[in-house]
Structure 1
Amino acid sequence: MGFASLLLAPELPAQPDTPGVIVARPEGDHVTGYFDLVAGTQRLAATLVEAGVAPRTAVACLLPPSAGVVAAFFGTWAAGGVYVPVNPRLSDTEIAHQLAEVNPAAVIGRPEQLDRVAAPTTRIVAASDLNWSVAERRATAVSPYQPGVATVSFTSGTTGRPKPVELHEDAVLRLMDTIIATARRDRPITHRPETPHVIPVSTSLWAGIYNVVFAVRTASPVLLMPSFNALEYARVVSHYGVASTVLPPAAIAMLNDEPGIHSLDPLRIVRSITAPLSPRQARRFHQRFGVMVLNGYGQTELGGEIVGWTARDFREHPEKLGAVGRPYRGVELRLGKQGDLWARTAYTAGLDPNGRFGDRLDDGFLRTGDIARLDEDGFLWIEGRESDMINRGGLKVFPAEVEEVLLLSESVADTAVVGVPDPRLGETPWAFVVPATTSSPLARDDLEQLCRQHLAPYKVPVAFEILGTLPRNEIGKVLRQTLVDQVVSAKQPN
């Protein structure tokens, strides 16, 4: 079974009034019927074949969250192509870099988006009514990907230039079906749910694509939120009767801080995705809304989520809230001497040891780049990223630990701790702090005292910089290198 067959040859029949894609809009949601979505998908597949796009070649897409982008996913796969999401919000330079990495046989977009593509390529114009046309054909051939590659998605790029990751559909579906079986306790899906699967992250990210496929795999309507707004999210939950959803940590924090929301009924379960979730934010969310917050862990390089919580875990182990969960069935974990985390799944076992991630592979295990520990009950605790770890004169400082202490202050709304180069110690920790209110300025001495109460002296930041907001990428991850560069630049002599 491939991704395309999930939509075009579904296990459960649809009806004429079955919704396919819902795009949430404050002025009124836009609904595309399932049959219209299928017809648009088939038209795109035929357009790509007619344009001469060969099987297993890359097809890039610049469309924003919409029914059209969902049809672009499945239409590309139905034509045998490899789907490559490109965020239209990127700069022209960033778009050019990503297209150069994958050398697509075709690019899908609206006319104004395709005008930004400099390299000669087959251009597929997307109309708002799911119609497609060939604007320009490319004459030169491109190299195909290996069989089974469905998507090439770029990493988040928080520590360097984003890297392309090849994702194999069979392995991803095996991981996905394990999660579905765990959540449903192996009960099969027998009918189409009326409640949509809400996707509050960009469809240009693997997390967005994965959740669209997840929705179609569970026969649920897809509900896209082009941009996240806490009040709009509360409306969607109430209007559609959403009981379970996924949310990135940044969205959870926004909901915690929104005074205009008094209830998220009938929401009962939130699965945290895309980035580490602060235990403090998880506790705040549960206490305020009475909703279970189930943490999880995965990476684009791993094919998706491989570790997570169940509702039963949440009820039986509330004291372990800071953990990311326990490995799903079929997932193997091991820890190196320094606590470096390695994972083996159906996906990693099939990675090419001579490929892009070959230097991170060992007997099917992929080095994740995270430092972790496993407790006696099998819960995985992420201490931090190896690349984020601060080496202060040989002593290790994990930013997440310091950030959690700073968030104990009611005066702190957000924070990030980074390692800044130091000529004597190698690195020293610097804290960047966003005040909870503008009316009462933060006192740096109070923040230092708070850290000294809870941390070893070498973990206490040497400086506390006050910012209005932290630089983040589209899924809410802090751009730590940007903060480091800011300090280094300020230290340079004029």
Structure 2
Amino acid sequence: MGIRERLSRLLAEAPADAEAIERDEIWWTWGQLRQTAQAVIAALEAAGLGESARVGVVLENRPEHVAVVAALIASGRCTVTLSPLQPPARLAAHIARSRPPVVIAATEALARPGVLDAAREVSLVLELRTDGSVHRSGGATRTSDDTTPTTNPGVAVEMLTSGTTGAPKTVNLAFEQLDQALVSGGQVPKADRLLSRSASLVSAPLVHIGGLWRALACLATGRRMILMPKFVLDQWISAVERHQLRAASLVPAALRTVLDAGVPAARIASLEVVTSGTAPCPKELADNFFRTYGIPVLMTYGATEFAGAVAGWTLPLHRQWWDTKAGSAGRALAGAQLRITGDDGAQLPDGQQGRLEVRTAQTGQGETNWVRTSDLARMDPDGFLWIEGRADDAIIRGGFKVQPETVQRALEKHAAVREAAVVSLPDERLGQVPVAAVEATPGQPVPEVADLLDLCREHLLPYEVPVHIVVLDELPRTPSSKVSRVELLDILRTRLADRTTT
């Protein structure tokens, strides 16, 4: 049973009083979700927007928004995700650019400067209130010269990539991709029951694949969902304690937060496993968490284009291989095949670095075609995947190639560096040069730039040493907690300009 059929059944048959989603310690029942879903479908049908219609949703981490997505998937419509995390001007521009025939958004989102006007100019606007009711708020009637498609047949979600290295790109995720991604991740409902009393926590933004996948996994398996607007340590601990959660997902930055706060092991003792994705998790961080709490950290590798993870660790793998394979991204998940190829496209032997290619039904190209990624990687003889950088992040300095991750790892050897990030700046003579920023470790003396440069000279080739290093209290991050290279470049340019003027 695919996600479309599963959600259709749940919205039709789940007991009205059954707990579905908790937010701020208040439960939404399946009856409430059903009412919102029915209201959305009625409004779309009244507007003549049937199956395959593109529906823009300013998607927030709220129960009523989950109900909207469930209704759209169940009815075969296409959800065009619009991020509320964007500044108002960027959100308005995204609406104008994507031009869905209808936009659904919360009252507060529509009240942000310019958003309602932008939406009304190109779309019918439906206001989604906190009680789950839907109200028409005016909007444009499409003209005959508007060539933007009103439908996207077979596509469940139009989603933006995270945009850590530049402008986000739109990815079309078909219903079949979501189905395979859930199966690969082991998110299959029990044949003998509609709902489960177990619960899962979702704190990642629903507008990013990590958050959306986890929400769909809860719905697909009938688990109760604990929905957080974002990761907040005290609230996360409270949710783990109240529901005695057995599993949770934490990005590397959140893992560090738990460790830095010295959270007592007894408060999260119910956890048997933590998964970590969206950004590479340093093996030292995962191992430190495991040694501190006895909770294995299972890394995963995936992308928006794959509708989730295609490789990762499992508990059996962790028990057998962790001591010798720590730092690996794990093995290919069920339904996925991985290989490493050279510049000529030929498959490379185990141990050699090249470009990672993936073949799976989770890609838009289908399960028979290899998809070449931008990631540099190697496979070992035991089938473990090792991610070693990104081909498109390589900095070409005077003809020499610098991998930012290599420089990052060298800087993170310093005890006072919590995390490092490396980007490139244009250089008139060399073309590009690496520059770096480090986030200082709380409670440690702030690292001296001279010491950091000495560390780099000790561990790096001369052309890999960054030409500038700045020390920050915090590295800028995207909503999915990855380092935002775009914002980091702006900060570095400003800091370097200030140095020049002074």
Same fold (TM over 0.5): yes
Paired residues of 1:280 and 1:407 also in contact (CA < 8 A): no
Question: In 2 relative to 1, CA 90–21 (structure 1 residues): closer, same or farther, beyond 3 Å?
Answer: same
Corresponding residue of 1:21: 21
CA distance in 2, matches of 1:259, 1:225: 22
Q: 1:312 pairs with 286, 309, 316, which one?
A: 316
Report SS of the residue matched to 2:229: coil
Q: Does 1:58 align with 2:64?
A: no
Contact 1:150 1:168 in 2 (8 A): yes
Identify the match of residue 326 of structure 1 among 321, 328, 331. 331
Q: Distance in 2 between matches of 1:239 and 1:268?
A: 16
Equivalent of residue 304 in structure 2, options 300, 304, 309: 300
Offset of residue 63 of structure 1: 4.3
Residues 247 and 437 of structure 1: is their aligned pair in 2 closer, same or farther, counting only changes over 3 Å? Answer: closer
Q: Percent sequence identity over matched residues?
A: 30
Give the whole-Å Cα distance in 2 for the aligned partners of 1:171 and 1:439.
Answer: 46
CA displacement at 1:269 relative to structure 2: 0.7
Q: Residue type matched to 2:271 in 1?
A: L
Q: Relative to 1, partners in 2 of residues 1:479 and 1:137: Cα closer, same or farther, differing over 3 Å? A: closer
Deviates more, 1:387-396 or 1:234-243: 387-396
Aligned-partner SS, 2:215: helix
2:275 alignment partner, one of 271, 276, 279: 271
> How do 1:57-456 and structure 2 match up within 5 A?
57-115=53-111, 116-117=115-116, 118=118, 119-140=121-142, 143-180=149-186, 192-263=195-266, 264-318=268-322, 319-338=324-343, 339-348=354-363, 350=365, 364-437=369-442, 440-456=445-461
Instruction: Check whether the contact 1:420–1:430 (CA below 8 A) recurs between aligned residues.
Output: yes
Q: Secondary structure at the match of 2:410?
A: helix
SS at match of 1:151: strand
CA deviations over 1:290-324 (Å, ceiling 9, x no partner): 11111111111122211111111111111212111
Q: Give TM-score, length-normalised by structure 2.
A: 0.88
Q: Residues 129-163 of structure 1, C-alpha deviation per residue, up to 9 Å, x if partnerless?
A: 21112222542166244421011000111222111
Query: CA separation of 1:196/1:387 partners in 2, compared to 1, >3 Å: closer, same or farther?
Result: same
Q: Once the two structures are superposed, what CA deviation does each residue of 1:387-429 show, in whole Å capped at 9, x if it has no partner?
A: 2222233333322233233223221122212223333333332
Q: Could you give the per-residue CA deviations for residues 162-184 of structure 1, whole angstroms, max 9, x where no partner exists?
A: 11111101222122112217xx8
- C-alpha change, 1:279 and 1:189, in structure 2 (3 Å) is farther
RMSD (Å) for aligned C-alpha atoms = 2.6
Aligned 8 A contact 2:173 2:364 in 1 = no
Deviation at 1:441, TM superposition (A): 2.5
Q: Which moved more, 1:280-289 or 1:212-221?
A: 280-289
CA contact (8 A) 2:226 2:239 kept: no
Partner of 1:8, secondary structure, is: helix
Structure 1 window deviating more from structure 2 (479-488 vs 169-178): it is 479-488
Q: Is the 8 A contact 1:12 1:191 kept in 2?
A: no
SS at match of 1:295: strand
How far is 1:123 from its partner? 1.1
Per-residue Cα deviation, 1:432-491 (whole angstroms, up to 9, x for no partner): 112213772212233233334433443333332111211111011112233334444555
Name the SS for the 1:387 alignment partner: helix
Deviates more, 1:276-285 or 1:172-181: 172-181
Contact 1:58 1:102 in 2 (8 A): no
Task: Single out whichever of 201-210 and 432-441 deviates more from structure 2.
Answer: 432-441
The residue identity in structure 2 corresponding to 1:178 is S
Q: Taking structure 1 as reference, are residues 349 and 201 closer, same or farther at Cα in structure 2, changes over 3 Å only?
A: closer
1:104 Cα offset (Å): 0.8
Classify 1:13/1:291 alpha carbon distance in 2 versus 1 (closer, same or farther; 3 Å).
farther
SS of 2:392's equivalent?
A: coil
Q: Give the structure 1 partner of residue 42 of structure 2.
A: 46
Structure 2 gaps of 5+ residues are: 344-353
Distance 1:310 1:147, change over 3 A: same
Please report how far the alpha carbon of residue 195 of structure 1 lies from its aligned counterpart in structure 2 after TM superposition. Answer: 2.3
The AA in structure 2 aligned to 1:105 is: P
User: Which amino acid in structure 2 is aligned with residue 344 of structure 1?
Assistant: R
Give the Å deviation of 1:92.
2.5
Q: Is the 8 A contact 2:411 2:452 kept in 1?
A: yes
1:260: how far off? Answer: 4.5
Q: Match for residue 32 of structure 1?
A: 28
Given that residues 296 and 308 in structure 1 are in contact (C-alpha distance below 8 angstroms), is that contact kept between their aligned partners in structure 2? yes
Residue identity opposite 2:137 in structure 1 = A
Q: CA deviation at 1:5?
A: 3.0
* Counterpart code for 1:3: I
Unaligned runs of 5+ in 1: 352-361
Q: Distance in 2 between matches of 1:217 and 1:455?
A: 48
CA distance in 1, matches of 2:31, 2:79: 22
Equivalent residue for 1:358? Answer: none
Taking structure 1 as the reference length, the TM-score comes to 0.89
Change (3 A) 1:151 1:57: same
On the 8 A contact 2:101/2:150 being kept in 1, the answer is no
**Residues of 1 paired with 2:174 and 2:64: CA distance?**
23
* Counterpart residue type for residue 325 of structure 1: G
Equivalent AA in structure 2 for residue 427 of structure 1: Q
Contact 1:309–1:326 (CA under 8 A) maintained in structure 2: yes
| 1:355 paired residue number | none
State the alpha-carbon separation in 1 of the partners of residues 56 and 479 from structure 2.
Answer: 19
Q: Which moved more, 1:300-309 or 1:138-147?
A: 138-147
Shift in Å, 1:262: 4.0
Larger mean Cα displacement after TM superposition, 65-74 or 39-48? 39-48
CA distance in 2, matches of 1:187, 1:375: 35
Cα 1:464–1:438 shift into 2, 3 Å: farther
8 A contact 1:416–1:433 mirrored in 2: yes
